[in-house]
Each structure stands twice: as structure tokens, then as C-alpha cells.
Amino acid sequence: MTATLAEREAALAEIAEGIRKCTRCELHRTRTNAVPGEGPADARIMLIGEAPGWNEDKQGRPFVGAAGKFLEELLAKAGLTRDQVFITNIVKSRPPGNRDPLPDEIAACIPWLERQIEVIDPDVIVTLGRFSMAQWFPGERISRIHGQPKRVGRRLIVPMYHPAAALHQQSLKATILDDFAKLPRILAEAEAARREEEASDEPPPSQMAMF
């Protein structure tokens, strides 16, 4: 049975509470705040970055620094605002000095992300950067597959460059802007697939008449 919006909000709040108290990896010792993520519980698009940076750790919110500002510009390119999408990270606590997250930190944190995906059930997941990309495209290179959606079940997973990479490398800026401009078409395709699946799940009219 499909959960109501209120039930999904409550489930997400419970997950966020678990993340804030989580001690499954060593990052809990050095973080100021864990960063569960934010956005509507019924968002159709979920964006998954790498890990909180300095600003995110201080505020407990994802993508609030320079990369976040650019992410808002990218979303605008797709006709979206940040309050329409769910934004989170593969690792919910800041690695010291913004180093790359370690494999055991990712492994410890991934069950939180899996629960968030289950509750939100988005039509489209956008991975930002190589760490979230690797969950769905192991061994792939972002330079080869960026902007190309892959179907997983009825969901579309779209690998994108990390906004911070484009901030530091001007040549990537046009590429990532073009990739985000494709999002409305990708979302429409994923929504159509969901509607088709939902329609095929409904019992045929003759069977419905029996009840």
C-alpha cells in the first residue's frame, strides 16, 4: 500500500534522527552536525552528493556552501528550485579536512541512504560526483557516461559531474549545465514509466467488478 505524505514525512524524520545520533563510523567523533539531507518526502528527483563540507557540517544542511550555490544555478537550468528536490549525500558526516570518504565509511552510511530512497521512492536519482556514481555504475568513468540515464527497475539514475568539480574546472561548467538541461525530459520519461507500471498493477476492469 502506498504511504501517505504524512507517513513518509514521519519516516524521513525518524531516519534523520537516527543519522544525527549515528556512531557507525569514526566520522561521528569529528563532525559538528550530521547532515541527513532535506527536501519533500514525495520528491520526484533525488540528488546525491559526496559528503558534507565545512559549511554543511556547521549548519547540518546539505549543499549550502559554494557548490550549493552552483547547484541552485544548475537546478534553475532544469526549471527547478532546491525546495522541489531531495538533496542528500552518500556519507552524512564530514570527513576531516574534506578528504575523500573511505570505503568503510561509505559502507557504514549506505543503509541510511537506502532507507531514504525507499521512503521517497523518486523517479529520478541524480548522482553528483564519483562516489555516489559508483553505487550504480561501478568501475565506470564519469567522463564517459555523464548525463546518460540508466534504468534501474522503473527508476532512472543519471550520473552527473560534481558541482564543485565544475567550479574548479571552467571547461566542465558548460558540460554540467547541458546535462542538467536534460533533466526535464529524463523526468518525463521516468514518470511515464511509473504511470505505465501503476496501470499494469491495477486489476483489469472485469476482475474489479467481482468485488
Adjacent-strand bridge partners of 160: 128
Rounded CA-CA distance 146/196 in Å is 27
* CB of residue 90 to ligand URA, shortest distance in Å: 8
Binding mask 145-164 for ligand URA (x = CB under 6 A): -------------------x
**Which residue is listed with cell 546518460?**
148
* CB of residue 49 to ligand URA, shortest distance in Å: 3
**Which residue is listed with cell 566520522?**
27
Query: Which of 49, 95, 122, 159 contacts ligand URA by CB under 6 A?
Result: 49
Residues in the chain: 211
Query: Which of 16, 45, 47, 62 contacts ligand URA by CB under 6 A?
Result: 62
Site for ligand URA contains 95 (CB under 6 A): no
**Contact set for ligand URA, span 104-143 (CB under 6 A):** none
Kindly indicate which of the ranges 60-68, 102-110, 135-143, 150-158 contains the residues binding ligand URA, using the contact rule CB under 6 A: 60-68
Rounded CA-CA distance 157/207 in Å is 35
Evaluate whether 134 touches 141 at the Cβ level (below 8 Å).
no
Rounded CA-CA distance 123/21 in Å is 29
**Which residue is listed with cell 569514526?**
26
Kindly indicate which of the ranges 47-55, 72-80, 145-153, 181-189 contains the residues binding ligand URA, using the contact rule CB under 6 A: 47-55
Evaluate whether 179 touches 142 at the Cβ level (below 8 Å).
no
Query: Which of 12, 47, 51, 80 contacts ligand URA by CB under 6 A?
Result: 51
Residues that bind ligand URA (CB under 6 A): 49-53, 56, 62-63, 67, 89, 164
